A and B are shown apart, each in its own frame.
Chain A
Amino acid sequence: MLAMRGIVKSYGAVRANRGIDLDVPAGAIVGLLGENGSGKTTLMNVLYGLVRPDAGSATFRGRPLPLGSPRAALAAGIGMIHQHFMLVPAMSVTENVMLGWRAAGSWLRAAAIAERIVQASRAYGLELDPGAVVGMLPLGLQQRVEILKAVLRGADLLILDEPTSSLSPPEVTALLAVLRRLRDEGRSVIFISHKLGEVLEVCDEVVVLRDGEVAGRRAVAGASREDLARLMVGRDLPPPVERASRAPGAEILVVADLHACDAAGVERLRGVSFSVRAGEIFAIAGVDGNGQAELAEVVGGVAPPTRGSVFVDGAEIVGGVATRLAAGVAHVPADRASVGLVRDMTIADNVVLRDVDRPPFCRRGWLDRDAAREAARRGIEAFDIRAEGVDVPVRTLSGGNQQKVILARELGRGPRVLLAVQPTRGLDPGATRFVIDRVRALRDGGAAILYVSTELEEILGVADRLAVMHAGRLVGVMRPADADLTRLGLMMAGALEEPPDAAALYGVLA
């Protein structure tokens, strides 16, 4: 159905695609597997026309496909669901679906289109309210809007870029079912991922990219996890570090009956209490948008609680970010691109951002740039940040290296408490391992760590004690050894609740 030949694309000195061939048969789900920076997204942006290739060509259904124009790709029957959704947050679901769609009519037939959205969403099991404002929907529902947009336009080839990165296990299952259904209707799907399990579960064949080239192509039927992982990484991954359990340390971070609202005034945190002890990683699992972000913001002092208190080392912390810093709270926020970093400033500037008002980086109101550079140099070395020096803007770094800059800044302070929200989101396995190792090292040094993630496997691997958050409350607390995926999945979906007792909440689980 689709044949791409010799795709080359460079961004400055970075060669994202170095002559890639890709074939997609009709009625097949093809997995595009690779680490971050292996060229998957670039290749798909070329196919969809968002990015003009330096060289290469494509044919779709036997006809040459002009590359470099989304209009041509759409007209040919190609739809793309981007990792960062291409939706207009201020508009309704219906308006987003109608945008740029001829069939919506010159005079918009909003009511008719809304009806089609309802029908199609039922047919695919993707419940959606056509009148809802997209920006107010959780990410899982926003993704449904993207899928419906493509399906209603009659796309024969759907490209999904990292579609599961912000979904809960039940949502992932639902998505995979939709993809199978689309395949059974004779459509083709390109499924971009770096998660082996999902690729093996849903795809018919897998193409592995590494460093902008095709590292291998396998039929899923005969492929093994180990084989694919080796192709993807180009080396064998070391086994994860295990650690003997220890007696619980002193209570460092205590959160008592915390309530908070989001910017729209909706209550997102509805009475959360727990403590995190010294040398402990307390991990919070849950689907995006169940209050984890608000919890981290309130504990980190970015947003005020409407009720409840936060204590560090027994002292109540009142006030904004500055008081948290003074108490030794470090914060790795979920949104590194816009909250965690100033992307247009250099690595050195970003590394000292929190401490820029005190020695050694600032003396009598004058900045000491050499001290900042020195600190950044140490960070680059300690955190293995791949960069051409400390004076390059952070935006030129890859996602993994940007995350390492935040870690260098936050962990470099020797914090008592670390709030790590989705610290590995979008990172490849190597970078993920690195980040988790650093968090563990901090824990072993006696810090209390609140770790929020939507990745269950990661939670199970990293947590000393874990909780599931649903609709602004902790609906279960357990040791990783007592957890299984079904139980956690049910809790995350709000189908199971095991109100935790004080022992569980305050960290003396048997």
Chain B
Amino acid sequence: MSVETALVELLAAAVRIATPLFFAALGGILSERAGVFAVGLEGMMLAGAFGGVLAGHLAGSAAAGLAASVAAGVLLALLVAVATVRFGADQMVTGLAVNILAVGLTSFLLRGFAARGEAATLRVPVLAAWPVPGLAEVPVLGVVLFRQPPLTYAAVVFGVLIAVFLARTRAGLTLRAVGENPAAAFAVGVEPARVRLAAVLACGALAGLGGAVLSLQQVGTFTDAMTNGRGYIALAAIIVGRWLPGGTLLGCLLFGAADALQLRVQSLRLPVSSYVIQMTPYVVALVVLAGLGRSARLPAALGTPFRRE
């Protein structure tokens, strides 16, 4: 295998791996720019991955699986929204609680489908790649970008839509204002609680889709805690991307590349423990955040509950 082929494959893999991160990070952007920490991304992804496999398995259709992924993510997001927006609970703690809940609940439900407490193996067909006619034949770029499975294209579409939504629509402006200064938004007739509720639910839907990418597009089954920290990596990507969809996409690709590289280095059978090599993406996340995270400016009201007098 030539170096060039290896590099192209590495990049294609980076795009594949970045896809679920980007879905979750897009959700996180909506939530955080409205002022609610998206710590629960990990749990929402996991719920989405589980819901997708379950419904895909039962109904035998990918569409049903996707719908269930979204529903599962929204359900957990609703929990976050009610706790933090309605009751003003701490956003960090609520998010962590949702993450832990998701691990336990999906494992429990998975075992509910098999006899004697064993984990059921639910198999669904993996979403096949859709080569874009014409573009897929372009050297290098064609392989990297245009022979991807459907949800990867969808992620890019969502990224553009959300970027336009935030920058160009009144609703997007309102959402950003609620994350910056909810009192100012309230003073011009906006209900910050409603905006935050909607943003968190949208976050759940997108994170659920991120989970669907893992289970329906990449693996074809559900295993316990299969998100394996990707929700947290998505959070890091948001910070790297300064809460902007474009920058966040770059952040996701960076982590995707680190992960793809890590997988290939493992197969070289170097005299280093594979666990050390598996750490690479997380070390990259730490290093990048330490370097770039300092100058990041959070949405001013991130993490602050809004209460009218």
Contacts and interface: CB of A to CB of B under 8 A. Distances in A.
A251 interface: no
Interface stretch (B1-9, B71-79, B186-194): B186-194
Interface residues of A, number: 30
Given A50-B186, A51-B309, A88 B170 contact: no
A344 to B, nearest CB: 14
Contacts of A51: 308-309
B309 A50 contact: yes
A108 B187 contact: no
B184 interface: yes
**Of listed A48, A51, A70, A71, residue having the most chain B CB within 10 A:** A70
Nearest to A74: B189
Of listed B170, B173, B176, B188, residue having the most chain A CB within 10 A: B188
Interface string A49-77: 01100000000000000000111001100
Interface residues of B, number: 22
Given A80-B187, A89-B300, A91-B180, A108 B169 contact: yes
Contact of B177 (A82, A88, A105, A108): A88
Given A70-B186, A74-B188, A89-B181, A98 B170 contact: yes
B116 interface: no
B126 to A, nearest CB: 39
At the interface, is chain B mostly helix, strand, loop or mixed? helix
B183 interface: yes
B34 to A, nearest CB: 13
B186 to A, nearest CB: 6
A172 to B, nearest CB: 24
A441 interface: no
B174 interface: yes
B265 interface: no
A100 B181 contact: no
A74 B186 CA distance: 11
Contacts of B168: 107-108
Contact of B184 (A88, A102, A106, A108): A88
A71 B309 contact: no
B132 to A, nearest CB: 29
Contacts of A149: 188
A96 B171 CA distance: 13
Given A88-B181, A89-B300, A108 B188 contact: no
A263 B163 CA distance: 29
Interface string A88-112: 1111000110111110111110000
A321 interface: no
Interface in B136-175: 168-171, 173-174
B289 interface: no
Interface in A345-376: none
Nearest to A94: B173
Given A70-B187, A88-B181, A90-B300, A98 B309 contact: no
A88 B309 contact: no
B185 interface: yes
Contacts of B308: 50-51
A71 B169 CA distance: 20
A216 to B, nearest CB: 28
Given A108-B170, A108-B173, A100 B309 contact: no
A87 interface: yes
Given A50-B309, A108-B168, A99 B177 contact: yes
B177 A101 contact: no
B188 A100 contact: yes
Interface string B242-253: 000000000000
A71 B177 CA distance: 16
Nearest to A101: B188
A86 interface: yes
A331 B249 CA distance: 47
B170 to A, nearest CB: 5
Contact of A100 (B169, B189, B297, B300): B189
A51 B188 CA distance: 14
Contact of B185 (A80, A90, A100, A104): A100
Contacts of B300: 89-90
A99 B184 contact: yes
A52 to B, nearest CB: 8
Contacts of A45: 309
Given A51-B309, A104-B170, A70 B189 contact: yes
A192 to B, nearest CB: 16
Interface centre among B170, B180, B190 (most CB of A within 10 A): B170
A105 B173 CA distance: 11
Nearest to A48: B187
Contacts of A107: 168-170
Contact of A88 (B169, B180, B189, B297): B180
B183 A86 contact: yes
26 contacts: A45-B309, A69-B189, A70-B188, A82-B187, A86-B183, A87-B181, A88-B177, A88-B185, A89-B180, A89-B300, A90-B297, A90-B300, A91-B177, A99-B173, A99-B174, A99-B185, A99-B188, A100-B189, A100-B190, A102-B170, A105-B170, A107-B169, A107-B170, A108-B168, A108-B170, A149-B188
Interface of A: 45, 48, 50-51, 69-71, 74-75, 80, 82, 86-91, 95-96, 98-102, 104-108, 149
Given A98-B173, A107-B169, 9 more contacts: A70-B189, A86-B181, A88-B180, A89-B300, A95-B173, A96-B184, A99-B184, A102-B170, A108-B173
List 10 A-B pairs, minimum CB-CB distance, nearest first: A100-B188, A71-B189, A86-B187, A86-B184, A88-B180, A88-B181, A100-B190, A74-B189, A99-B177, A88-B177
